[in-house]
């Protein structure tokens, strides 16, 4: 007999274990299976069970019993290895009586008696209806006058006797019917009490898969039964640890695995897959690329979220999360996300998370000043960019004089020790990384217990020691805090996906950020938060507003001094930006008087200083400009 792997496609959910290699009365072989391995996708999981079988020579029937009835029998996957062949696979449903089987006859007898009593009550109620109609007929025929002669006394006397007899009979009949109905109802209550006192009848229906195999001789073999489960998945989570800005960044990759399938995954091997299987996969379609004016603007709006717009509805997604941001990649705070009747508001980092009601296929995103976006529910993670609604604001007021000292997340270790506990570095089990055209799969060598509680459980995947360039950045016109960013290249080789990231600096928990790859190019930037050890002050040292008698124009002179102080023990690389005003009116003249080594973007007016500051050093840069405008033209300057 030829050794052949057996592959037949089916999908399966199971919550029971079975007695190993037991034979039924008709000779069928029931097998015991245990969960050996689970492949977890971002939405859904493929569970694999292994069964060892002892096959006799010739034809044998192997029964996998106790399977969930929600399984689609047309989507089971069975593979095997051994000197045998699979001839056919069928299925059937089996119902077991868990309790109350011995009282079934009494329960049926009580039900028959109760039905007879109810039938008799219905008959008596019908007689009551007849009495009501007879009474109404008598009341409607009480006139006994004779035309031209008035009342006929003889007929009236006979009618009175008739009416009295019938009304008495009707009332007596009603009383008798009421008594009999009350007795019958009491008998029914007695039957109900006896029925409820019986042990409850509990049944359970399960799916059984019957596999017919043929072996040339008595042999042992293994069968691998795999099935798909919707109520499971994982979300990426990262820990970024920086011990010092002179050391590499340690990036720990974790999968937060959850499942609510009804079966417990105990001591199972795990594979974490980045894809989300879908029955309907299609590539996005390119739209016309126009380069002229308004068409270009429309194209910019239509290409936002083009990949998500092209993806079809995925009914397997029952919860979505992600981040909302504008066209510049900045998070949108307080934006509304609506799925059916469920609605949430994004947090301070633009994050959102909500469940998807059954049958709802679209999600709507809206934020003030941005266009409303409606997308198909296609992935458990949906990071969405909202385009501007092209609304012109009258004025934007910037805070210039801000406090030099403020509470920062990046605080010294001693100050925050009482607020955050130490987080020890984790040891990661070996992981094999497997690539295919549509996804990356991480095979974790360690075994895990994942209970069916729907809660996230951390599975350690990989740890990277990244040689990064640390860059400090500050925009003191808006915020005097100095933010630290880690920059590194070749990030595509790390198999990263969008996810939340927890940041640690010198063993202190700094806070939460977001690893977002949507806008990443050759260099990936990870924001590590503000560092109070670096200070940048922006001070206005000159403000002159005057009118020129020669040119007849109003002249505005502004000067600012930027002071950068490095209190760390290592040199730093810092970028400080500010801005020159810009004007579309040709009558307004803007002169750069002093930039002190800064670069200027002519289109946006952005002014950027790129500095290297030594430990303990204080560096100053001066920024001076002049604006000239006609006297009758209003110019808004601080």
592-631: pLDDT as tens digits:
999 999 999 988 899 999 999 999 999 999 999 999 988 8
Q: Where are the beta strands (DSSP E) in 118-185?
A: 145-146, 150-151
So what's the pLDDT on residue 86?
81
Structure-token pair, residue 284: 């996005």
Q: How confident is the model at residue 429 (pLDDT cuts 50, 70, 90)?
A: low
pLDDT above 80: residue 55: yes
Section 59-66 average pLDDT: 86
Provide mean pLDDT across the span 56-75: 79
Question: Rounded to whole angstroms, how far apart are CA atoms 306 and 299?
Answer: 11
Q: Determine the pLDDT at residue 118.
A: 92
For residue 252, the model assigns a pLDDT of: 87
Phi, psi values for residue 326, rounded to 5°: -90, -175
> What was the pLDDT predicted at 165?
87
Asked if residues 16 and 80 have their Cβ atoms less than 8 Å apart, the reply is no
Give the Å distances, CA to CA, from 37 to 171, 439, 535: 78, 19, 53
The backbone torsions φ and ψ at residue 217, rounded to the nearest 5 degrees and listed phi first, read -150, 165
Question: Is pLDDT at 498 greater than 70 in this prediction?
Answer: yes
CA dihedral of 193, 196, 197, 201, whole degrees rounded to 10: 160
Mean pLDDT of 216-240: 85
Provide the CA 571 distance to its chain's centre, in angstroms: 43
Q: Residue 533 CB: number of other CB atoms within 10 A? A: 19
558 - beta bridge partners? 543, 625
Assess whether pLDDT exceeds 80 at residue 473: yes
**C-alpha to C-alpha distance for 417 and 521, rounded to whole angstroms:** 37
Whether the model pTM is above 0.75? no
Look at 7-21, 62-76, 116-130, 514-528 and tell me which has the smallest mean pLDDT: 7-21
Quick count: other Cβ atoms within 10 Å of Cβ 177?
Answer: 18
Assigned token pair, 310: 């092209």
Q: Which residue has the higher pLDDT, 327 or 413?
A: 327
Whether the CB-CB separation of 35 and 47 falls below 8 Å is answered with yes
Q: Which two structure tokens, joined as six digits, stand for 207?
A: 């799916």
Mean pLDDT of the chain: 79
Short-list 497, 39, 502, 514, CA closest to 259: 39
Element (H, E) at 390: none
Q: Over pLDDT 70: what percentage of the chain?
A: 79
Alpha carbons 230 and 408: distance in angstroms, whole number: 42
Model confidence at 23, in pLDDT bands (50, 70, 90)?
low
CA atoms of 339 and 334, how far apart (whole Å): 16
Please choose, from the candidates 499, 565, 577, the residue with its C-alpha nearest in 3D space to the C-alpha of residue 531. Answer: 565
3-state helix, strand, coil in the chain (%, to 5): 15, 45, 40
Distance CA 315, CA 168 (A): 70
**Cα–Cα nearest to 486, from 243, 130, 126:** 243
- Which residues share a beta bridge with 628? 555, 589
DSSP structure class, residue 217: S
Q: How far is CA 602 from the centre of its chain?
A: 43
The two tokens of residue 74 are 């047309």
pLDDT digits (tens, 9 = 90+) for 549-588: 777 788 899 999 999 999 988 899 999 999 999 888 888 8
pLDDT at 13 over 80: no
Owner of token pair 């609510």: 260
Whether the predicted pLDDT of 158 surpasses 90: no
Q: 107: alpha, beta or left, given left = phi > 0 and alpha = psi -120 to 50?
A: alpha
């Amino acid at each position: 007999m030829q050794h052949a792997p057996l592959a037949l496609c089916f999908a399966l959910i199971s919550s029971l274990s079975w007695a190993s290699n037991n034979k039924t009365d008709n000779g069928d072989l029931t097998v015991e299976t245990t969960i050996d391995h689970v492949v977890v996708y971002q939405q859904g999981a493929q569970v694999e069970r292994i069964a060892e079988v002892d096959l006799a020579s010739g034809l044998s029937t192997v029964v996998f019993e106790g399977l969930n009835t929600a399984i689609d029998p047309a989507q089971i996957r069975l593979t095997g290895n051994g000197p045998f062949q699979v001839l056919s696979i069928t299925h059937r449903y089996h119902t077991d009586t868990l309790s109350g089987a011995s009282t079934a006859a009494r329960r049926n007898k009580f039900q028959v008696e109760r039905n007879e009593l109810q039938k008799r009550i219905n008959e008596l109620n019908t007689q009551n209806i007849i009495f009501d109609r007879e009474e109404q007929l008598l009341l409607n025929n009480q006139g006994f006058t004779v035309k031209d002669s008035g009342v006929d006394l003889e007929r009236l006397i006979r009618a009175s006797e008739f009416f009295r007899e019938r009304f008495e009979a009707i009332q007596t009949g009603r009383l008798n019917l009421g008594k009999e109905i009350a007795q019958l109802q009491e008998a029914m209550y007695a039957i109900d009490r006896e029925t409820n006192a019986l042990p409850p009848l509990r049944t359970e229906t399960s799916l059984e898969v019957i596999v017919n195999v043929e072996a040339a001789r008595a042999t042992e073999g293994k069968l691998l039964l795999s099935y798909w489960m919707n109520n499971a998945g994982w979300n990426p989570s990262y820990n970024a640890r920086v011990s010092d800005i002179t050391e590499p960044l340690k990036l720990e990759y974790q999968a937060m695995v959850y499942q609510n399938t009804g079966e417990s995954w105990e001591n199972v091997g795990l594979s974490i897959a980045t894809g989300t299987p879908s029955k309907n996969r299609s590539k996005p379609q390119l739209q016309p690329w126009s380069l002229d004016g308004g068409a270009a603007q429309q194209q910019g709006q239509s290409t936002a979220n083009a990949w998500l717009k092209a993806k079809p509805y995925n009914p397997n997604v029952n919860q979505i999360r992600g981040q909302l941001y504008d066209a510049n990649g900045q998070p949108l705070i307080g934006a509304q996300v609506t799925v059916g009747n469920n609605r949430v508001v994004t947090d301070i980092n633009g994050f959102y998370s909500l469940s998807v009601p059954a049958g709802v296929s679209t999600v709507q995103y809206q934020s003030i000043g941005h266009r409303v976006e409606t997308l198909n529910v296609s992935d458990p993670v949906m990071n969405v960019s909202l385009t501007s609604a092209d609304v012109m604001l009258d004025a934007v007021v910037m805070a210039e004089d801000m406090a030099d000292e403020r509470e920062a997340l990046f605080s010294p270790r001693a100050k925050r020790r009482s607020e955050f506990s130490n987080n020890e570095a984790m040891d990661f089990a070996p992981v094999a990384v497997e690539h295919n055209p549509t996804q990356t799969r991480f095979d974790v060598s360690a075994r895990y217990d994942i209970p069916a509680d729907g809660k996230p459980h951390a599975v350690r995947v990989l740890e990277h020691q990244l040689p990064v360039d640390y860059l400090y950045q500050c925009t003191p016109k808006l915020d005097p805090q100095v933010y630290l960013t880690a920059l590194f290249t070749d990030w595509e080789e790390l198999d990263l996906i969008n996810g939340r990231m927890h940041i640690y600096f010198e063993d202190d928990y700094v806070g939460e950020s977001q690893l977002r790859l949507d806008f990443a190019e050759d260099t990936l930037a990870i924001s590590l938060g503000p560092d109070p050890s670096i200070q940048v002050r922006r001070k206005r040292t000159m403000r002159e507003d005057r009118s020129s008698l020669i040119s007849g124009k109003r002249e505005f002179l502004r000067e600012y001094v930027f002071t950068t102080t490095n209190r760390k023990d290592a040199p730093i690389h810092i970028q400080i930006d500010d801005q020159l005003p810009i004007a579309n009116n040709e009558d307004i003249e803007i002169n750069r008087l002093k930039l002190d080594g800064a670069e200027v973007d002519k289109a946006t007016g952005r002014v950027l200083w790129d500095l290297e500051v030594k430990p303990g050093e204080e560096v100053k840069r001066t920024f001076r400009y002049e604006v000239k405008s006609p006297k009758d033209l209003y110019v808004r300057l601080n």
